[in-house]
Amino acid sequence: MSEAPQYPDMEVQLSGEDGNVYSVIGRMQQALRRAGHREAATEFSQAARSSGSYDEVLQLAMRTVDVS
């Protein structure tokens, strides 16, 4: 059973979009900021940029919000 994301009320569309890792980070930051989670947006960006792989960034996104 997977753990619920940190912000389960937020959904960010990643499938069918530009798959570039920087594009994923940008969409996540923008969604978090728009929802009023500025600090979480900064934390996500920092964690994503220090991740070792694209898969780690996607896993981080899924732990943060509901990803579709």
pLDDT band, residue 2 (cuts 50/70/90): low
Give the pLDDT score at 1. Answer: 47
Helices within the chain (DSSP H only): 21-34, 38-49, 54-64
The residues with which 66 forms a beta bridge, in sequence order, are: 11
Global pTM? 0.89
Residue ranges per structural domain of the chain:
19-67
> Which H, E and C letters describe 5-20, residue by residue?
CCEEEEEECCCCCCCC
Over range 10-31, report the average pLDDT: 91
* Cα Rg, the chain, nearest whole Å: 11
Between vectors from CA 59 to CA 23 and to CA 68, what angle results, nearest 5°? 65
Residue-wise pLDDT for 22-68, tens only, equals 999 999 999 999 999 999 999 999 999 999 999 999 999 999 999 99
